[in-house]
Amino acid sequence: MKLGGSLTSATSASPDLLNNWLQQRFVAAGENPALIGAWGVCSYAQFGRLGDEAARALAGLRLPGPSAVAVVGGHGPAATAWLLALEAAGHFVVPLAGNPAEHPARLAQVNAQWVVTADGFAWSLLPRIDEPSAHPLFRQLADRGAAGLVLFSSGTSGNPKAMVQDFSALLATYEDRRPNGLPVLALLGFDHIGGLNTLFGALAAGAPLVVPAANSPEVVAAAIARHRVVVLPASPTFLNLLLVSGAAAAHDLSSLRVITYGTEPMPESLLARLKAAFPRVRFIQTFGTSETGIVRTSSPEGDSTYLRFEDPKLAWKIVDDELWLRSATQIEGYLNASNERFTADGWFRTGDRVEQGPDGTLRVLGRLGELINVGGEKLMPAEVESVVLSVPGVTDCRVRGEPNALTGQTVVVDVVASVADHEALRAAIRAACRERLARHKAPTRVTFVPSVSGERMKKVR
């Protein structure tokens, strides 16, 4: 059985199929652009109809209860419409993007029963397995009538951790956004809490979301200029590359008024260069973890890398230099890992090393553990190590993060080799990583060493 659509069977909007308050916003925004990208312009009216189409297809399946459904795509109209339709119907939604080689393991972790593959206005729906997931976290959500959202974070064992959160509660936090119509750019991924935050924020505000065809500084700058984007959520690394590539100077970015940045520490020197390049822009630091959701913050002064939490639903404290958070939107738990980073009384240990500034402010200094942050995209060494170890000629290896002025940190691997041709082995290691891992996880530096220290997984021979 396969179902598909492309908004050819447009019907009148029926408000009960999507989340009520969102549906009302879509009706109010009417012919205003909702999503702008490779597919052209999708108006809010069109988007509402696409949501109906998805909801009808879903109802037609006559599913006996909440099911795990993956949505493969990006911030396109069909993928987004499916996300919302699945939420409204109380299902467990797994947005997937990036390297498709990483998808099968994730689908298996979640036990996804259906897979929606979306591209622009078009989508197709295919069954994957016939057996509903009986995970207690899913049952817990189903019992209170809430939809689930599953995102992945880097796990210490090399397996990404599947985080389950209450999708209905998350979406409800956007209801108080006032309509503003200010064009926003989508830079972070569809499978990333930051990318979803941008998406839901724009939709709740009835604003156009501009989705660039690629995330290179050049393509993004051209999209900002063309669509007069006002709000740019980005990582410090991306903002650095925007300046270094010359893209900021080559395009008219005068429409920008707000740049929000987060996901990795902002160097003071970079913020100073950004302020000089964009004198009319307000810079706002955001803070979020996949586990706790995006948190509202303010900076005491515009040019400060200190921040202050402004979210009434969030509590924070610093324990041994580590930031601990407790929020209303934190995840229910992991499908495939223990909740060891949560304390019994609900605090989440972020793993971020912070220092306290004046008047209740704080500043993120970096990471405490092994987690590597490449331009805001995170990974654990074990993920890469397991791929490197599978390359013939590698006896042992150790992956670590190294500071880098272009991407904040970069992935470096020390390799113990059993072959003499290091140049060829280096190329083979990089090729294997590129094929099997997301782009940011591939080591940029491969060094050959006589031995590596520490209790890493050793190659079994």
**Interface with another protein by CB under 8 A: which residues?**
216-218, 237, 240-241, 243-247, 250, 267, 269-270, 273, 374-375, 404-407, 410, 412, 427, 430-431, 434, 439-440, 442, 444-445, 447
Nearest to another protein of 135, 440 (CB atom): 440
CB of 249 to another protein, least distance (A): 9
- For 285-297, letters b (16+ CB in 10 Å) and e give bbbbbbbbbbbbb
Residue pair 315/326 in contact (Cβ under 8 Å)? The answer is yes
Nearest to another protein of 77, 236 (CB atom): 236
CB of 187 to another protein, least distance (A): 13
Report CA-CA distances (Å) from 113 to 83, 106, 107, 126, 129.
15, 12, 9, 9, 5
Nearest to another protein of 259, 335 (CB atom): 259
Angle between helices 44-60 and 20-29 (to 10 degrees): 140
CB of 299 to another protein, least distance (A): 22
Two structure tokens written together for 351: 């793993």
CB of 237 to another protein, least distance (A): 7
Residue from 176, 178, 181, 168 nearest 19 by CA: 168
Kindly report the backbone phi and psi dihedral angles of residue 251, in degrees, each rounded to the nearest multiple of 5, phi listed first.
Answer: -125, 155
CB of 192 to another protein, least distance (A): 17
Residue from 261, 305, 269, 267 nearest 287 by CA: 261
Nearest to another protein of 126, 431 (CB atom): 431
- Geometric angle at alpha carbon 422, from 421 and 425, rounded to 5°: 95
Nearest to another protein of 250, 457 (CB atom): 250
CB of 247 to another protein, least distance (A): 6
Nearest to another protein of 333, 376 (CB atom): 376
CB of 297 to another protein, least distance (A): 25
Q: Would you give the distance in Å from CA 93 to the centre of its chain? A: 14
Residue from 211, 175, 184 nearest 79 by CA: 211
Nearest to another protein of 16, 252 (CB atom): 252
